[in-house]
């Protein structure tokens, strides 16, 4: 069980309501707080996020905590133990292992 589950961290605040945008066409939405300072209740606790990045360990039996390739990008969160230092280390190791098996000596661009 990850640290977040033990500490009962509130991962995401309640979504804020959206209002219609008075833009021509009316097909866009504008958040009611657009152009205003964000209330404290919707701000991310950065020290807790950084702590979760280094402390929480992903459970590889939980699909939501694994990195998957072939998508347009991994959108994990340290709060949900789906993006942290272990993910970066594993991804880097996988890239190194793959390149070691390939007959190439050029730079890899990620």
- E-strand stretches of 21-79: 29-31
Residue 20 has pLDDT above 50, yes or no: yes
Instruction: Give the burial class of 56: count Cβ atoms within 10 A of its Cβ; 0-12 exposed, 13-18 middle, 19 or more buried.
Output: buried
Are 108 and 97 in contact by the 8 Å Cβ rule? The answer is no
Task: Report in angstroms the alpha-carbon separations of 110 from 10, 74, 107.
Answer: 33, 13, 10
pLDDT at position 24: 59
Q: What are the pLDDT digits (tens) for 40-84? A: 988 999 999 999 999 999 998 998 888 766 555 657 889 989 889
What is the domain partition of the chain in residue ranges? 3-101
pLDDT at position 85: 92
**CB within 8 A of 9, min separation 6: which ones?**
48, 52, 79
pLDDT at position 64: 86
């Amino acid at each position: 069980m990850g640290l977040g589950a033990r500490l009962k961290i509130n991962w995401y605040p309640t979504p804020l309501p959206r209002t219609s945008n008075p833009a021509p066409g009316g097909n866009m939405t504008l958040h009611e707080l657009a152009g205003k300072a964000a209330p404290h209740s919707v701000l991310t606790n950065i020290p807790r996020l950084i702590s979760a990045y280094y402390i929480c360990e992903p459970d590889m039996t939980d699909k939501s905590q694994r990195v998957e390739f072939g998508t347009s990008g991994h959108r994990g969160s340290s709060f949900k133990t789906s993006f942290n230092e272990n993910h970066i280390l594993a991804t880097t190791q996988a890239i190194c292992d793959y390149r070691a098996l390939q007959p190439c000596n050029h730079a890899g661009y990620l």
